Structure 1
Amino acid sequence: MRSKLRLDAVLVQAVIAGALSFAHLHDIAEAAGQDGWKAWAYPISVDLLLVAAWHRLRVLRNSGGTVGAAWTWFAVALAASLGANIATAGLLDLNAVPAWLRILVAGWPALAFLGGTLLVHTPAEKPVDEETPEIATDRIDVPAKPVPPLEPDPSPQLAEAAEPPAALPAPAPDPELESPIEVPSALVSYARTIAETHQATTGSPIDTDTLSARLGVPADMADAIALQLA
């Protein structure tokens, strides 16, 4: 309950201070010859530049960027707001405003536009993670340790026992167990026609390589077909 009341009091204080500063800036602008809606636009311009500079200052500070430009424009907006509040305290005759104040008020829009543009287009640097160690990209060559030579085994019996047994020769495949390649009868008939045409054209029997190429079959199937054509 106390925190809520304290928050409400802060908001009320901020609203009152903002309204008074807004009225003082309006009075100064109106006294400097800016009448109508222009006199109301000056307080908005000053307060917006002040808030934008403070926001940009916090962003740059959190990201580790350079805050010099943000501090400069924050000081300019603060000086304009504070100067207007002090000028309306009876130290300045609002019915006879000096020329230098008229020049400052008339040149404020261009100054505020420049400051706002520079604040918006100032890039924010990325924060540097100090906890992340830098990884060295240079390669360090570590000299290899010399390997000591192996000493011969003094016991010949252990050396003979350590030798692996000779690999047994692989058994020869049994031709009876191999399944013959089945060739369709239509393919055999077509191959016979090709072989007869080749015999009549070249005068020599067709070989298996030519038969395999003409039929588009593997070499083993061409051998099986050649055996049936023999």
Structure 2
Amino acid sequence: MRAHLARVDAVIVQAVIAGALSFAHLHDLAAAAGQGGWKAWAYPVSVDLLLVAAWHRMRAQQRAGQPAGGARLWFLVALAASLGANVATAGLLDLDHVPAWLRVVVAGWPAVAFFGGTLLAHEPRTTEKPSAPAVSLDLDTEPSALPPLVGESHPASPPEAASAPAPAAAVALPPALVDRVQALAAEHRATTGQPADPDVVRARLGLPPSMTASVAAHL
């Protein structure tokens, strides 16, 4: 638990530091471009709010399985404004002599941000896809008790008993095997005084169970 809180605290501290630096860079660039007083402080708030709003809407649309092209576009616009201000104030731009085109971009940003924020706010609300209801099947439930599918009807009553498999038909045995069957049967009758069982004779000959009828036909 403590390790989790430590990780959360580190993330929050890092986010606060990065946000403060970006906020300061945007303020300095706006002030250098002629936006003094409270207006210079409003520019970083506008950029950061558009960035967060676009990110939130983009993630919500992706979770709902809907296209997020519009939200992604405004997220990239706000990211470019924030990143551009950070790079421009890193010594690559003389803040005492800001070019005219950058003054135009800074002066036109409020209209762009207002338009983007309005579009994001008036997009239809996203709803996540409903998950399919879980269906539990009791394995002990009789098949006749289950509800029928669409277009399917269960029979009125299950069959009482399965039909017994048909006995295997007798197969003709070779003469040598017939002699061996009859010899074993005669030996059994002489020893026990009882007729030989076809299964016993078949087993002594090493034949499969399907040959019982063939052996019985020659006893």
TM-score interval, normalised by the smaller of the two chains: 0.5 to 0.7
Cα offset, 1:131, TM superposition: 3.4
Equivalent in the alignment of 1:46: 47
* CA deviation after TM superposition for structure 1 residue 65, in Å: 1.8
Root-mean-square deviation over aligned CA pairs: 2.1
- Distance in 2, matches of 1:128 and 1:6, equals 32
Cα displacement (A) at 1:125: 4.2
CA gap 1:3/1:86 in 2 versus in 1, 3 angstroms? same
Measure the CA separation in 2 of the matches of 1:32 and 1:86. Answer: 15
Percent identity for Structure 1 against Structure 2 = 67
Do 1:24 and 1:84's aligned partners in 2 also have CA atoms closer than 8 Å?
yes
Q: Which residue is equivalent to 1:58?
A: 59
Looking at structure 1, the residues matched to 130 and 117 of structure 2 have their Cα atoms a distance apart, in angstroms, of 30
> In structure 2, what is the Cα distance between the partners aligned to 1:48 and 1:30?
19
Structure 2 residue identity aligned to 1:27: D
Give the corresponding residue for 1:81.
82
Distance of 1:53 and 1:86 partners within structure 2: 22
* Contact 1:65-1:124 within 8 A present in 2 as well: no
Do the aligned partners of residues 44 and 130 (structure 1) sit closer, same or farther apart at CA in structure 2, a change above 3 Å counting?
same
1:72 is matched with 73
Q: How far apart are the structure 2 equivalents of 1:125 and 1:50?
A: 19
Asked which structure has the greater CA Rg, the reply is 1
Matched, 1:15 2:54: no
Secondary structure (helix, strand or coil) at the match of 2:97 reads: coil
CA distance in 2, matches of 1:32, 1:38: 11
Distance 2:47 2:3 in 1: 34
- What amino acid does structure 2 have at the position aligned with 1:69? G
Aligned residue identity for 2:31: E
> After superposition, what is the alpha-carbon deviation per residue over 1:84-117, rounded to whole angstroms, capped at 9, x for unaligned?
0000110000000001100000000000000000
TM-score, with length taken from structure 2: 0.59
Name the amino acid aligned to 1:95. D
CA contact (8 A) 1:21 1:85 kept: yes
Q: Deviations over 1:200-219 (max 9, x none)?
A: xxxxxxxxxxxxxxxxxxxx
CA separation in 1, counterparts of 2:131 and 2:15? 38
1:112 aligns with 2:113: yes
The answer to whether the Cα contact below 8 Å between 1:50 and 1:74 also exists between their aligned partners in 2 is yes
- Once residues 100 and 14 of structure 1 are traced to their aligned partners in structure 2, the CA distance between those partners, rounded to angstroms, is 31
Aligned residues: 137
Indicate the residue corresponding to 1:103 in structure 2.
104
Within 5 Å, give how 1:132-147 maps onto structure 2: none
Q: 1:130 Cα shift?
A: 6.3
Match of 1:36 in 2: 37
Question: In the TM superposition, what whole-angstrom CA distance separates every residue of 1:180-213 from its partner, at most 9, and x where no partner exists?
Answer: xxxxxxxxxxxxxxxxxxxxxxxxxxxxxxxxxx
Q: Distance in 1 between matches of 2:75 and 2:103?
A: 22
Task: Provide the residue aligned with 2:132 in structure 1.
Answer: 131
| Residue of structure 2 in register with 1:168 after alignment | none
Q: How far 1:126 sits from its partner (Å)?
A: 3.5
Q: Structure 2: which 5+ runs fail to align?
A: 134-149, 152-219
Q: Which runs of 5+ in 1 are unaligned?
A: 133-138, 141-230
With over 3 angstroms needed to count, the CA separation of the structure-2 counterparts of 1:128 and 1:15, relative to structure 1, is: closer
Whole-angstrom distance in 1 between the partners of 2:110 and 2:129: 37
Letter of the 2:66 partner, please give it. G
